[in-house]
Chain A
Amino acid sequence: MNIKEYIESGILEAYVLGALTEGERAAVEADMVMYPELAQEIAATEAAMQSFAEANAEEPPAHMQQQIWNAIQQQSSPQSVPEPQPAQEAKPQPQPKVVEFAPPAAPARPSWQRAAVWAAVAVSVLTNFMLLSQRNKTKDEIAQMTSQMDSLKASQQQVLAEYKKGRDMLVDTSMKTVVMRSMQPGKEMTGMMFWSKVTGESYLTIHAMPMPEKGKQYQLWLIQDGKPVSMGVIDNNLVANAGMMYKIPMQVKGGQAFAISLEKEGGNPTPTEVMAVGAI
C-alpha cells in the first residue's frame, strides 16, 4: 500500500468528518492499526475539528446542568417514581435512548440514604410545584423574572451550602489536615489539604505560592504506595486567590502524602519539580 497516496486521497478526512459508510469505516480502522502514520494523520485532523468545535462553543441555558443531573439520578432509581418532574419549564423530556448498555452497577445504597434521596425528590417536586403555581398567576414577563430570581437564589443557596460545608468540615474530626511545606530551600511555599478518609472528599487551599512563570502550572499529587497519582493541574486563579478553598473533584481513598509540583502548562504524567510536600 502506498501510504502517502492513501493519506492524500482524502479518505481519512472523510473518516473524521463521519462521511464514510460502515464498510469504509471498518476498513480505515483496520488500516489504522497496521500503519501508525494513518492514525497520526487522523489524530491531527481530529485535533483541528476539536479546535473548531471549541471556537464554536455555545453555553446552554443555566438550568440545564441541574436538569441533566436530575435525569442521570432518575434513571438509576427504581421505576415506581411518581413522575418527579412536573414543574420544569421545559417540555417533557423524551427518555434517553440509551438502552444498549446497562447502567453501571452501583453499589447498593443504604436505606437511610435512599430515604434521604426520596425525601429530597419529594421536597424538590413540592417546591417545583409551588413555584409553578405561583408563576402561573403572574404575567409572562414577571414569570421570567421570577425564574431568573429562582436560579439566582438557587446558586446563592449553593454557595452558602458550600460555605457551611467548609466550616463543618473544619470541625469534623474525621477530616485530616495536611500541611504541604516547601521543598525548595529559601522559598516559602505552603498549601493545605483537608481530606476525609470516610467520604474520600478533599479540599485544597494554597496559602503562599509564587505565581508560576508563563507556560508553567502547578500540579497536585497524591502519593499512593510510593507512586505519584495526579489529582489535577491547579488553575492559576487558585494561586492568585490565596486562602480560597477548592473541592477536589477526584475522590481520595488513601495515600501517604500530598504534593505540589511545578510542571509545564497542562501538567505532566509524573512530577518533575516538586515544590511542596505534606505527609498524611
Chain B
Amino acid sequence: MAPALTYSEEELVVLLKQQSQDAFNYLYKNYAGVLYGVIRKVVTDEQTAQDVLQDVFVKVWNNIGQYSTEKGRIYTWMINIARNAAIDKLRSKGEIMKSKIQTGEDAVYNVQKGMKTEQATDTIGLKEAVAALKPEHQTIVSLAYFKGFTMDEIARTLEIPLGTVKTRMRAAMQSLREYYNSN
C-alpha cells in the first residue's frame, strides 16, 4: 500500500520517537531507497551493502532520541549516517587503504589513470546529472563523498594543488545546485 500520508521533517522526528512498527514502516518506505542508493555508491557488493543498510536503520532508530532539529535536517543526518557507515565498512575491508597508502609513482599513475577513465565516467554514476558535472568534478565529488578522502588526500592522489581541489569542489557543487534548481 502506498503511503497516503507524508510528514514534514519535524513530524518525522516526532513519529520516530514513538518507536512503533508503523513509524518504522513509514521510515523504511520513504527513505530505504535513497539510503541504499548512497550505500551502493560506496560499497558495490550487494550483500555488504545490505548489511550496512541494516546497521544504518538500527543506528537511526536508536539515536533518534539524540537528534535535534538544531543539528540540521534529519534527511541530511540520515544520509550522512549511511555514507559514514558505508565508508567505515569500506575501510574495514581494507580496500580504500590500498589507494591511500600507495606512494610510488606507478601506483599514483595507475590510480590517476583509473580515475580519469573508469571513475570519471562511471564511479559516481550520476544517472541524469551526468551532463551537469565535468569529469574532473565528478572525480572529486566521488572521492570525497563516496570514498571518504580528505581534501589533502585528494590533492595527493590526483597530484593537483590543494587550492585546485577546493576550487573544483566549489564549482562542482555550484553546477549541481544549478542543475537541481532548474529541474
Residues of A within 8 A of B (CB): 8-11, 13-14, 16-21, 43-61, 64-65, 67-69, 71-72, 75, 90-91, 93-94, 96-98, 101, 103-104, 106, 159, 162, 204, 220, 230-235, 237-238, 244, 246-251, 266-267, 269
Contacts and interface: CB of A to CB of B under 8 A. Distances in A.
The 9 closest A-B pairs by CB, nearest first: A10-B166, A232-B5, A10-B170, A57-B33, A19-B144, A17-B144, A51-B180, A238-B4, A13-B169
Interface stretch (B68-76, B95-103, B104-112, B114-122): B68-76
A49 B170 contact: no
Interface string B159-183: 0000001111110110011011000
Given A53-B79, A90-B47, A250-B14, A69 B21 contact: yes
Contacts, number: 216
Instruction: Give the size category of B's interface with A.
Output: 35 or more
Given A49-B79, A101-B66, A251-B20, A59 B15 contact: no
Nearest to B53: A60
B172 A13 contact: yes
Contacts of B23: 249
Contacts of A10: 165-170
Contacts of A233: 5-8
A16 B53 contact: no
A9 B170 contact: yes
Describe A's contact surface by its main secondary structure. mixed
Main secondary structure of the interface of B (DSSP, over half): helix
8 contacts: A19-B169, A48-B176, A60-B50, A91-B51, A98-B63, A204-B5, A238-B5, A244-B4
Contact of A98 (B59, B144, B165): B59
Interface of B: 1-8, 10-11, 14-15, 18-26, 28, 32-34, 36-38, 40-41, 47, 49-51, 53-55, 57-59, 61-66, 72-73, 75-76, 79-80, 83-84, 125-129, 141, 144-145, 148-152, 154, 165-170, 172-173, 176-177, 179-180
